[in-house]
Amino acid sequence: MRLLARNSTRFGRVADTDMANLSFSGDSRNDVEISQFSYQFRPMKKLQVFISTEGGSFTSFANSLNSPISSSAIGHISNFSDQSAIYDLSGGVGAGIEYRFSDRVSLSLGYMAGDKPNNPQQGIAGGEYGAIAQLTLRPIDKLSLGLTYIRAYNSLDTGKGSEFANDPFDGAANTANAYGIQTSYRFNQRTTLSGWVGLIDAESQSSENKGDKAKILTWAATLGLNDIGGEGNLLGLVIGQPPKVIETDVDERKDPNTALHFEAFYRYRINDNMYITPGFYVIINPEHNANNDAIYVGTIRKTFLF
């Protein structure tokens, strides 16, 4: 069970784009909330089972291959850079498994039904949902590769892309097939290069846009350098493209240009329980519109682990 209280402004509301959000932003007015309630167990050596009734995610049982920078507590600082946006197509209540055929091959399967599947007429299958299948391969010791497919309904708003990418059909019900390739190469104990490409193929299911289609693309490359300047420290670098509508039948909701995200942070380890992380990122052409000024975000995060 994870308890969370926060009062941080969501920069997306200030800058008018989700691309500006920090990884830890949100405001509960300092009230303590249950942000995750889940259970994991291993009924056999090769099989791990994950069950969530609140705050679950696909990456709880499917590896995003973005280590070591994927932690929002002691890793990346922006909301964009933790993992491919296709993993955010659903989350909340659901279950998943990871089966390891060997040290080099594993298969993850799961189903998530959103955060509030409490309508008895819908249950966990009648409202927002997402289903995932991911094959993770390690052909050699230093290289990992993930091949991901996600089928989703009414959950295109990943909170990472442009307004059009989050809602390509102007509020209409939608379905989506998402395809992802994730990879990570560990050169040595200190250096890991990772990256992803994600494509979301969406279709409108209601309103005057019924039957219209849209393609949404995102990609990134990340570099993690461990123990720079001391044991436990981490230098992280990120470059990528937030989700962008690259093709659509709704011409007025196609992103005209391309935004780029550049990020750098340095996690300094004070001791095993305390870290300080200054970081900075810039979004060029936010909302994939060259008429918009660049957005600059700087932060210093203090983390206590206990």
How would residue 114 be classed by pLDDT, with cut points 50, 70 and 90? confident
DSSP H or E run through 187:
none
How would residue 120 be classed by pLDDT, with cut points 50, 70 and 90? low
Q: pLDDT tens for residues 4-36? A: 888 887 888 889 999 999 998 778 888 998 889
- Amino acid 17 reads T
Cut 0.85: pTM above it: yes
pLDDT at position 123 is: 54
In the chain, at which residue ranges do the beta strands (DSSP E only) sit?
2-4, 7-8, 26-27, 33-44, 47-57, 91-100, 105-112, 129-140, 143-153, 174-186, 191-204, 213-226, 234-248, 260-271, 274-284, 295-304
pLDDT at position 119 is: 57
231: helix, strand or coil: coil
Domain 2-304 in this protein, CATH class: mainly beta
How would residue 164 be classed by pLDDT, with cut points 50, 70 and 90? very high
For the residues 236-265, what does the mean pLDDT come to?
97
The DSSP call for residue 258 is -
Average pLDDT value over all residues in the chain: 93
How far is it, in rounded angstroms, from Cα 234 to Cα 1?
27
